[in-house]
Structure 1
Amino acid sequence: MRHGARAWAALLIVLAVSVTTALTGCSGTGDDRGTASGGQREERWRPRPGLAWQWQLDGRVDAAAADVPVYDIDGFENGAADVARLHRAGRKVICYINVGAREDYRPDKDAFPRSVLGRPNGWQGERWLDIRRISLLRPIMERRFDMCREKGFDAVEPDLVEGYSHDTGFPLTARDQLRYNRMIAGIAHERGLSVGLKNDLPQIPQLVDDFDFAVNEQCAQYAECARLTPFIEAGKAVFHVEYTEPTHRFCPVSRELGLSSMRKKWELGVWRRAC
């Protein structure tokens, strides 16, 4: 095809995509997708507020356990076949990965130098990471996110991104955390994956533009759910869970704020009670 014909064809494609987007709007799974350069890869998934979800980090994932459009599952313990099964059931799938602590039960545990290992974080087999050591940690996290992409996940839930507010054994600052969290978001986006900000409520104003959605635990228990409104106002989903609060106490506020809320048991198995 000659240059002029190619240009006209490209223009027609852009116009067709624009018209289709305007006519179809948001899909049932909160998609906001277009065609990337060259038509080889779609833009990353952008979940909208109000999407129901399932969060299961324990046991074999059952695509029929919850009739919801979003599943959040462990990235190491589930394979490409599990992700594909969820996709066939019409689910978007989030890859849970710990980016703030080293877990001694993961297959890449030996990749972490001893110099980056801090104090135990309260979970068996886990120690905080020195997130200031970007040059050491970035390659490890890149490999983990590569795994999520290769298994077909749509997004990543990076856990423990608020080490600066804990006793990690390192003198971490809020600035250290912002730098690290933005690096994590960048690694996901470079791979076409959307990424959620897990907890870290104080830094939401600085990070809402870097992340595609939020994941929160217990904001109702600590009367902090209103702090998540920047994500909702930006058209980004907030996936929220409570463990001890009964649903009648937090669901009315969750619905008013636009959160995707449910109650779960601590082990994060199949059981859920949604708002």
Structure 2
Amino acid sequence: MRSRSALLLLLVLLLLAGCADGGAPAPDDRGPKSARWQPKPGLTWQWQLSGTLDPAVDAEVYDIDGFDHPASAVADLHRRGRKVICYLSTGAWEDFRPDAGEFPESVLGRGNGWKGERWLDIRRTDALEPLMARRMDLCREKGFDAVEPDNMDGYRNRTGFPLTAADQLRYNRLIARLAHGRGLAVGLKNDLDQIPELVDDFDFAVNEQCAQYEECAELTPFITAGKAVFHVEYELATRDFCPGARELRLSSMLKKYDLGVWREPCA
């Protein structure tokens, strides 16, 4: 009896040890929230997608191209106390990217107004998910803190595909999961109409020209949730949009369309 009891006890201990090692539930596909950067309203930022990177701009957050900059540039910005966002196009194909040849012709639609770019058929997640996952891997491996996925509102444009709002919600949530699964924060780019449905899936927002089109109030769900809204205008003077931006607690600045070094932030 003693030997049988001892054997049973040993089996129980082995089972408990196995649960401790590998039996814990896996984190959900958003990744552990506490491990991600959570940008709060009021942060200052720099958005530079062209020209030689200037790491000395007085801004707490930098948003730079994920392909164009090496890990050393991200590390340098970190040493300067900056958080760094990885710009990627997730809703449009760009013929100048090193992975451009990996996109099947069947997912490429109309041009989106920028040279060398075409909208993607975001319904085709079978083809796009692995490609976007590899792009997210690139951001993580270079040490970025977050991702800015661009062209996230194809369903409201002439893409060449019959995209619906539901298609866009599914795709945008997929992009958020891919980022979160790699410990990266992720921002919702424009797509104002779907903010109520997506605010819980994204960690911050990036917006262009909401003041010019009188849409900035639509971004308040992010601010109410304690999440930053990084905002730029191109055609208005700062005196015309900064007072309203400050009232809404947006992180706002004036930029030129080329998104070079120059910026005029709201004080």
Common fold: TM-score over 0.5:
yes
Compute the displacement of 1:42 (Å).
6.4
Equivalent residue for 2:47, pick from 50, 55, 74: 55
Rounded Cα–Cα distance in structure 2 between residues aligned with 1:146 and 1:263: 31
Equivalent residue for 1:124, pick from 115, 123, 137: 115
Compute the displacement of 1:61 (Å).
1.3
Give a deviation string over 1:66-90, Cα, whole Å, max 9, x none: 1111000000000100000000000
Map 1:116-265 onto structure 2 (within 5 A).
116-265=107-256
Rounded Cα–Cα distance in structure 2 between residues aligned with 1:86 and 1:272: 18
Q: What residue number does 1:78 align with?
A: 69
Rounded Cα–Cα distance in structure 2 between residues aligned with 1:158 and 1:171: 21
What amino acid is the match of 2:45? W
Rounded Cα–Cα distance in structure 2 between residues aligned with 1:84 and 1:74: 14
Rounded Cα–Cα distance in structure 1 between residues aligned with 2:52 and 2:91: 25
Mark the runs of 5 or more structure 1 residues left unpaired by the alignment.
4-35
Which 4+ runs in 1 deviate beyond 3 A?
A: none
Q: What residue number does 2:37 align with?
A: 45
Rounded Cα–Cα distance in structure 2 between residues aligned with 1:111 and 1:49: 38
Measured on the aligned residues, the alpha-carbon RMSD in Å equals 1.4
Structure of greater relative contact order (alpha carbons < 8 Å, 6+ residues apart): 2
Structure whose CA Rg is larger? 2
Q: What SS does the corresponding residue of 1:142 show, helix, strand or coil?
A: helix
Mark the runs of 5 or more structure 2 residues left unpaired by the alignment.
1-12, 14-30
Compute the displacement of 1:60 (Å).
2.0
Query: Sequence identity, in percent?
Result: 70
Q: Does 1:101 align with 2:92?
A: yes
Rounded Cα–Cα distance in structure 2 between residues aligned with 1:134 and 1:80: 28
Rounded Cα–Cα distance in structure 1 between residues aligned with 2:66 and 2:53: 12
Normalising by structure 2, we get a TM-score of: 0.87
Q: What SS does the corresponding residue of 2:46 show, helix, strand or coil?
A: strand
Q: What SS does the corresponding residue of 1:179 show, helix, strand or coil?
A: helix
Q: What residue number does 1:268 align with?
A: 259
Rounded Cα–Cα distance in structure 2 between residues aligned with 1:101 and 1:160: 6
Compute the displacement of 1:62 (Å).
1.4
Normalising by structure 1, we get a TM-score of: 0.85
Give the total of aligned pairs.
237
